[in-house]
């Protein structure tokens, strides 16, 4: 019995640790302008599937003030969409949610010289800090996220001192936000090459509450050959060192080795594909010659990029390959080739989720919610975001998840089975046999036999119970009411969450091999 108690204590400790992890979700406010099923508004966000939501973006003025980029979408003036208020009202549905405003982004990167000038001036930095604080208080955000792309890059207009000035700015901003309980985060380049030019890693880790590593865009249509958008490891065919660092493992090891606290590193997950048009459709593997970006999708309408919601609607037309070396899928259809992440990759203890656990990272970040299958066109709603939640927390959501109208709301499932605690003895006791050692528990299908010393077994006739193996002995366990045992994820969960989606998803089997250690 002591072994069982120790095993359960370990599970509870893991559940407690995972409960502190973050699911940081970026929302691209411009998705309101997309056509058809790609149109996305704030009311479509499920606030229970994120711990932190970031509204993107606002911009920077030359005087260090905050610039609202889309007043019609963000404010109520003149019949506007009132996005800021509606976004923050999501906390009414999940009081534990933190809402943040993001400043910067890719389009603002074209104004890199402006960011450089503001950060270089003590007066302008102070003005920016005051304006950010006033902005958060006026529009009722819980925190601020900086997305400066990228400090120190000479093109277009950065300066070498950006790296030092960024630290000064973050220190000053932290001093202003922390007394008011406001959160400070930043999205940073995952590339070790860019990070070397842009960041004093240990100093960023000191002042930021968390660091969103943009672990994607390692390859794309700016290159002449196909490559993964977000590979976990390097590939054997990558001979040059400059190529072998373009992956998540190399990035995480760089940030850790340069002084980042692992619990502050948030692993970025793309909800979109990078796509290529093949020069020769018969050569459709990795590193194949391309002749530009893939065709634009109907919703995102950007050559070389497809949202996951654009991919899954036509998945039956793609040939999917899971690359064992880099632990990510790619797919091809004629001369079209894409690299993307899907829920196969993100399942609990598999690939990126297992990597996050191995290095004690602080959670996962997603870019961005509006390119998930938020309508459930291909099956259940939010397949990728649900998979991220399972990887981070061991369950789906940080509160009661929204269900179809025909089903009443249900309480959040625990991340581990509930077990009544054993009464505490009056005096310390040593190891002992259980008071009621099971004698080969039996079902209608025969006795339950543990084939391993530790693990779990389903009951073949009753999905509300399961067996925990401890030192080869099976112990009967019960799932909480309304939940059933999910043998794939090895936990109690809602039955709704693991119903197979379609013939494609039956083929979607997760990688079950060991994690490579390329240190």
Residues with catalytic roles: 149
Say which residue the tokens 């290529």 belong to. Answer: 276
**H or E segment to which residue 192 belongs:** helix 192-198
Here the tokens at position 57 are 């973006």
What Rg, from alpha-carbon coordinates, does the chain have? Answer: 24
Beta carbons within 8 Å of 108's beta carbon, 6+ residues apart: 57, 59, 60, 115, 147, 148, 149
Chain centroid to CA 101: how far?
A: 18
Mutual orientation of helices 351-358 and 383-393 as an angle, nearest 10°? 30
Q: What tokens appear for 438 in the block?
A: 């099971």
> Which residues, in sequence order, are CB contacts of 436 under 8 Å at separation 6+?
none
Report helix angle 383-393 to 2-19, nearest 10.
130
Distance in angstroms between the alpha carbons of the first and the last residue of the chain? 39
What is the C-alpha to C-alpha distance for residues 213 and 519, in angstroms, rounded to an integer?
19
Largest CA distance in the chain: 77
* 353 phi, psi to nearest 5 deg: -65, -40
Which residue in 130, 268, 144, 255 sits closest to 203, CA to CA? Answer: 255
How far CA 186 is from CA of 104, 146, 190, 212, 435, in Å, comes to 10, 4, 12, 6, 54
Residue 182 to residues 132, 137, 433, Cα–Cα distance (Å): 11, 10, 51
- Please give the structure tokens belonging to residue 337: 């080739």
Question: Do residues 163 and 197 make contact, with C-beta atoms less than 8 angstroms apart?
Answer: yes
Residue located via tokens 């700016």:
222
The torsion angles phi and psi of 458, rounded to 5 degrees, stand at -80, 160
Phi and psi at residue 128, to the nearest 5°? -65, -40
């Amino acid at each position: 019995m002591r072994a069982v108690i120790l095993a359960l204590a370990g599970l509870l400790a893991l559940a407690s640790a995972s409960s502190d992890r973050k699911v940081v979700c970026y929302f691209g406010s411009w998705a309101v302008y997309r056509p058809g099923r790609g149109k996305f508004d704030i009311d479509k966000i499920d606030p229970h599937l994120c711990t932190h939501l970031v509204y993107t973006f606002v911009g920077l003025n030359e005087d260090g003030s905050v610039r609202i980029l889309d007043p019609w979408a963000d404010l109520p003036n003149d019949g506007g969409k009132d996005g800021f208020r509606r976004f923050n009202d999501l906390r009414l549905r999940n009081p534990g949610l933190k809402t943040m405003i993001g400043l910067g982004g890719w389009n603002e990167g074209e104004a890199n010289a402006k960011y450089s000038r503001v950060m270089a001036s003590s007066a302008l930095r102070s003005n920016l800090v005051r304006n950010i604080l006033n902005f958060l208080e006026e529009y009722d955000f819980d925190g601020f996220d900086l997305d400066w792309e990228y400090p120190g890059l000479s093109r277009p207009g950065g300066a070498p001192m950006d790296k030092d000035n960024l630290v000064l700015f973050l220190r000053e901003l932290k001093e202003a936000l922390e007394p008011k309980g406001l959160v400070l985060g930043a999205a940073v380049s995952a590339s070790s090459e860019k990070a070397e030019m842009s960041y004093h890693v240990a100093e960023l880790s000191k002042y930021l509450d968390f660091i969103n590593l943009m672990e994607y865009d390692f390859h794309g249509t700016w290159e002449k050959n196909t490559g993964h958008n977000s590979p976990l490891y390097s590939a054997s065919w990558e001979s040059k060192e400059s190529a072998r660092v373009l992956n998540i493992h190399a990035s995480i090891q760089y940030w850790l080795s340069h002084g980042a606290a692992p619990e502050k590193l948030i692993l970025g997950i793309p909800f979109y594909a990078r796509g290529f048009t093949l020069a020769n459709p018969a050569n459709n593997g990795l590193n194949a010659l391309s002749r530009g970006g893939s065709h634009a999708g109907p919703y995102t309408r950007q050559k070389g990029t497809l949202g996951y919601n654009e991919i899954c609607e036509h998945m039956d037309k793609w040939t999917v390959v899971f690359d064992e070396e880099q632990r990510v899928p790619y797919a091809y259809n004629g001369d079209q080739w894409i690299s993307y992440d899907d829920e196969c990759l993100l399942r609990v203890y598999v690939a990126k989720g297992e990597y996050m656990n191995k290095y004690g990272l602080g959670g996962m970040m997603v870019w961005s919610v509006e390119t998930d299958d938020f309508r459930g066109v291909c099956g259940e709603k939010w397949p990728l975001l649900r998979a991220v939640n399972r990887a981070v927390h061991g369950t789906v959501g940080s509160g009661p998840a929204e269900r179809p109208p025909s089903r009443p709301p249900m309480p959040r499932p625990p991340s581990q089975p509930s077990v009544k605690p054993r009464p505490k003895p009056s005096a310390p006791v040593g190891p002992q046999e259980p008071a009621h050692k099971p004698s080969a528990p039996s079902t209608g299908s025969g006795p339950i036999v543990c084939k391993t010393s530790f693990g779990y077994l389903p009951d073949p006739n009753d999905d509300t119970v399961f067996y925990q193996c401890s030192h080869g002995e099976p112990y009967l366990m019960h799932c909480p009411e309304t939940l059933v045992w999910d043998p794939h994820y090895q936990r109690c969960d809602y039955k709704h969450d693991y119903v197979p989606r379609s013939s494609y998803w039956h083929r979607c089997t997760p990688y079950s091999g060991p994690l490579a250690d390329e240190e």
